[in-house]
Amino acid sequence: MLKEAILMQKLIINEPQAQIHTVDDTIFIVTPGIFMRYVMEFPQVQLVAKTEKTPVWRYMQKAFEKLRYHKRKDDSYSIWTCALEGPKSTKKVHGYLFNDPTILIPDIVYNNPYLKIFLNNQTS
C-alpha cells in the first residue's frame, strides 16, 4: 500500500516535510511519521492491531521490521539518523534505510541533496 501511495503521488518525496527521502541511492523513511501517516490513510489496520497494547503506529513499525526490508547499522540497530539541512537550520530525522530501494521506487532519479546520513556522529 505504501508503494501505491508513492506511485499515485499521495506521499511526497524529498520535500522538507516529507516522510520519504532518497539518500545514498536508497530510500529513507522517517519514523514514526511514516507509520502514523499510514494508519491515517488506512484506518482498517486499527482492527488488526487492536489486540496489541501499543499504539497502532508502533504495531505497524514492528510489522515493517519483520519484513526485513531495511538495513541494520554495525551496532545492529535498525534506526538511522540523518541531517536534513534547510535554508535556515538543520534538523535530525530518524528512520529506516532500505536494502533495496526498488521495493518502493522503481528508479531513484536523484538523491536528496539536503539529506546526509550520520555515520559515527558525522554526516556522510
Per-residue confidence band for 120, with pLDDT thresholds at 50, 70 and 90: low
Chain segment 5-64, per-residue pLDDT in tens: 665 667 788 988 899 999 999 999 999 999 998 888 888 888 877 777 788 999 999 989
Predicted pLDDT of residue 1:
57
Predicted pLDDT of residue 97:
97
Supply the CATH classification number for the domain 2-123. Answer: 2.40.10.200
Predicted pLDDT of residue 11:
77
Can you spell out the DSSP letters for 49-115? Answer: HTTSSS-HHHHHHHHHHHHT-B---TTS---EEEEEE-SS-EEEEEEEEBS-GGGT-S------TTE
Structural domain spans, the chain: 2-123
Q: What angle do CA 110, 20, 122 make, to 5 degrees?
A: 75
Distance of alpha carbon 65 from alpha carbon 60, whole angstroms: 9
Predicted pLDDT of residue 123:
57
Q: Which residue has the cell 535530525?
A: 92
- How do strand 80-85 and strand 122-123 relate by DSSP bridges? unpaired
